[in-house]
A = this chain, B = another copy of it.
Amino acid sequence: MIIKPRYSKFDTAWRILVILTVLVQATLLPLDFLFELRFQRWYDMLDLVITVIYLLDFGENMHRYKRIQKHAVYKDIYWDTYSSGKFFISDVLAILPYAFLFSHPAFQFLRMFKWVKVLRTMHFFQIRNIRNTTRSSLWFLLIGTFLVAHWFSCIWLRIHGFEADISHLDNYIKALYYIVTTLTSVGYGDIVPNGNAEMLFNILLQLTGVGLIAFLVGSVVGLFTKRNPAEQRFTENMEKLRALIHYHDIPSELEKRISDYFTYEWKQKLGYDESELMESLPFGLKNDLQLEFKNRTIKHISIFEGVDEKFVREIALYLTPIVLTPGDYLFRTGDVANSMFFVKKGKISVLTEDEKQELTILKSGDFMGEIALFKKSNRTATVKSIGYSDIYELHKKEFEKVIKKYPDIALRIKEKSISREQRYI
C-alpha cells in the first residue's frame, strides 16, 4: 500500500495560520520591549493562543513524521519533518509560553525559534508551488522588508528615546519614516543620529539598507533574466528568423508564414516539444504519459470501437505527431499510400485533384487513409490543412507489427473500414 502524504487544503490552511501567528508575534515582540505590552491582559491571552497553536503544530508534525517514517515510500520527498534533530529542538523551544514562565522579557526572544520551522515551510511552499514562485518570492520580500523596518524603528526609539511632546504613535511613525529614509538610501538629513551609540546604529542601518537594495535588485534581475522558457524559445526563434532575413532577403510572404508559425507554437504549446519532457522521465512514466496523450485521440475513433484496450495501447505507441501550417498539403492525389492519419486538432480540407471542389472537412477525432493499412493503393484525393493542424500518422509497417498478435481484431477493423464510404483514402 502506497501512502501519498500530499498536502490537503486543510493542511495548507493550517500552515498559513502558523506562518501568520509567527508574523504577528514577530511584530509584537519589539513593541513589547518598548511599551511593556506583557503587562497587559490581551497580550497574555494572545501569548496563550500562540502557545496552543504551536503545540498543535508540533503534534501534527510528530504524527506526520512517524507516519512517513513507517511507510517510507515518499520519505525522500517530504523532507520538512523532524528527520534531523535540530528542527525538533527548535520547535519545542518555541512552544514554551515565556510570558508566563519568566518575568524577564529577554526570554520572549526564544519564541523566535519557531522561525526555523516557518522559513523551512515557506521554502517548501515556494518549491512545490512552482506556478507562483515569483509571486510568493515577492510576498516574502515585502514581509521581510516590513519586519526589518519595524524592528529597526523600535530599536531606534529605544536608543533615541521618545519625544515627549508628541504621541507614541507619532513617535513610531517618525521613527519608521527615519528608518525607511535611511534604508532606501534617500537620507534627507532632517533627522540625524547624535552620539556614538546612534551613529554606530546608523552605520549598521545604512549597511543593512544597501544589502536590502542589492537583494531587491538581485531578485528583480533574476525575474528579468529567468524568463519563461517558452517565451525564450519564441524570442530565439524570432532572432534566428531576423538573422535569416538579414542575410537572404526572403520574400515577406514566407517571412510572415514563419513568424506566424513561431507565434502559434508559442501560444499553443508554450514552445515546448513533448519529447523534451519525455527524455527526462524514466521508462515507466514516459510510457504512461505517451499513452495518455494518444489514447484520447484513438479512443473516439469509430474503427477502433469495442476493440481490446491492450491493442489500442500498443497501437498508440507507434503514432508519430505531425504539425501542418495553414495551406500545407498532407498528401496529393496519386501519391503512394502507406499510412493512415488521425486528426488531433484543427481542420483538414479534402479536395479533388484539381483542388476546385471540396469533398469534405475533417475535424478533431476524424481519420483518413485507413485502406492504406490493408492494401497497396494510391491516394484518391488531395488533403490540405486549413489552419494549423496536429495530426498523428500510423505507418503500415508498424500497424502490421502490432496486428500480427491480434488476428481477430485485424479482421474486424478491415471489415469496418471497407464498409465505410471510401471516397478518399
Question: Chain A residues in contact with chain B, CB under 8 A?
Answer: 2, 4, 6, 72-77, 79, 128, 130-131, 145, 169-170, 173-174, 176-177, 180-182, 184-190, 192-193, 196, 199-200, 202-203, 206-207, 209-211, 213-226, 228-230, 235-244, 246-248, 250-251, 254, 256-258, 260-264, 267-272, 274, 276-277, 280-285, 288-289, 292-293, 322-329, 347, 386-388
Docked complex Cα distance between A261 and B284 (Å): 11
**Are B244 and A272 touching (Cβ within 8 A)?**
yes
Closest Cβ of chain B to A36, distance in Å, is: 24
Cross-chain contact of A270 among B76, B173, B209, B246 (Cβ < 8 A): B246
**Are A229 and B224 touching (Cβ within 8 A)?**
no
Docked complex Cα distance between A75 and B388 (Å): 10
Closest Cβ of chain B to A276, distance in Å, is: 6
Cross-chain contact of A189 among B190, B223, B235, B267 (Cβ < 8 A): B190
**Are A285 and B177 touching (Cβ within 8 A)?**
no
Docked complex Cα distance between A103 and B228 (Å): 46
Cross-chain contact of A256 among B6, B76, B188 (Cβ < 8 A): B6
7 A-B contacts (beta carbon < 8 Å): A170-B196, A184-B206, A184-B210, A188-B192, A248-B274, A261-B285, A282-B324
Other A-B contacts than A218-B221, A254-B289, 19 sampled, CB-CB below 8 A, are: A2-B386, A74-B326, A77-B263, A173-B196, A173-B199, A185-B187, A213-B213, A213-B214, A218-B223, A230-B243, A240-B276, A243-B269, A244-B274, A246-B270, A248-B293, A250-B289, A254-B288, A284-B329, A285-B325
**Are B224 and A218 touching (Cβ within 8 A)?**
yes
Cross-chain contact of A236 among B199, B229, B268 (Cβ < 8 A): B229
Chain B positions within 8 Å of A215 at CB level:
220
Chain B positions within 8 Å of A209 at CB level:
184, 186
Docked complex Cα distance between A236 and B328 (Å): 33
Known contacts A184-B210, A203-B176, A207-B180, A267 near B218 by CB under 8 Å: no
Chain B positions within 8 Å of A271 at CB level:
243
